[in-house]
Amino acid sequence: RTLETDMRRALKAGEFELHYQPLVDAHSGRVTAAEALVRWRHPRRGLVSPADFIPLAEETGLIMPLGAWVLRTACTDATRWPNAIKVAVNLSPVQFRDDRLPEAVEDILRETGLPARRLELEITEGVMFDDEERTLMMLSRLKAAGVGLAMDDFGTGYSSLSYLRRFPFDKIKIDRSFVRQLPADAESAAIVRAIITMGSCLGMTTTVEGVETAEQYAFVASEQCSQVQGYHVSRPLPSKDFVAFLVGQK
């Protein structure tokens, strides 16, 4: 049985689940958002990472029903969270190419009752390779729907700085590859500092990803980034454990 057939079956059987990784405010240390990360609870293989099935889902088109499921589930879960905590959802470039995406997002917000401002869509630099006018139009329609737009994995692709000025992103997520050697490596430190400054000058908030140690946390917080995400705060957690994490921080 191929992985593709198995994925179609799994979607019907309800084998996919979302884990949530907290994003904390760099100053207060409080959780202000969580990123939804899909996992496949396979009956024989155990918990399968998205890195092992998202690429195939993209090739086969299965990313469309899977992506819709992720959005609907994340929005539903977030309606139960306290303090207007936001939920961030990763969008595949394949989903982004569908003109009906903005309406689909609005439908899901209406169905679940989650206020648009509590949903943030994470988009990678990959989408910028598409037609620039079209990308701008899609981002503008999403923005008009009231959702937040985050540029994910910033610094790993080929996106030009002019895109940041031209496209209506609210947030830059600094890729964890720049964080790995912090705080000792002077070049990594300079890059992270520069991206935070640039984001702030362009009116965007910045999230630093992949913060694994107390030293890294102290460094990025002192550099005035807006939010921190990484194993030092918490690993991605099953939905119930995420809610327990929120209760625990009170």
Count CB-CB contacts under 10 A for residue 73.
20
Total of chain residues touching ligand G, rule CB under 6 A: 20
Question: Does residue 77 belong to the site contacting ligand G (CB under 6 A)?
Answer: no
Question: Does residue 73 belong to the site contacting ligand G (CB under 6 A)?
Answer: no
Angle of the 132-144 helix axis to the 101-112 helix axis, nearest 10: 20
What tokens were used for 77? 């879960």
Residue nearest Na ion by beta-carbon distance:
153
- The H-or-E segment that residue 87 falls in is strand 86-91
Burial of 167 (0-12, 13-18, 19+ CB in 10 A): buried
Tell me which of 6, 120, 153, 223 binds ligand G, using CB under 6 A. 153
What tokens were used for 74? 């994340």
Calpha distance 114→231 (Å, rounded): 27
Tell me which of 108, 178, 210, 220 binds ligand G, using CB under 6 A. 210
Residues lying near Mn ion in the complex (CB under 5 A):
90, 122, 152
Question: Does residue 238 belong to the site contacting ligand G (CB under 6 A)?
Answer: no
Tell me which of 6, 125, 209, 223 binds ligand G, using CB under 6 A. 209
Question: Does residue 230 belong to the site contacting ligand G (CB under 6 A)?
Answer: yes
Task: Name the residue among 100, 118, 122, 97 with its Cα closest to residue 109.
Answer: 118
Q: Of the two residues 152 and 223, which places its CB atom closer to Na ion in the complex?
A: 152
Tell me which of 35, 120, 125, 152 binds Na ion, using CB under 5 A. 152
Q: Left if phi > 0, otherwise alpha if psi is -120 to 50, otherwise beta: which for 231?
A: alpha
Binding site for ligand G (CB under 6 A): 21, 37-38, 49-51, 54, 70, 90, 92, 152-153, 176, 209-212, 230-231, 236
Binding site for Na ion (CB under 5 A): 152-153
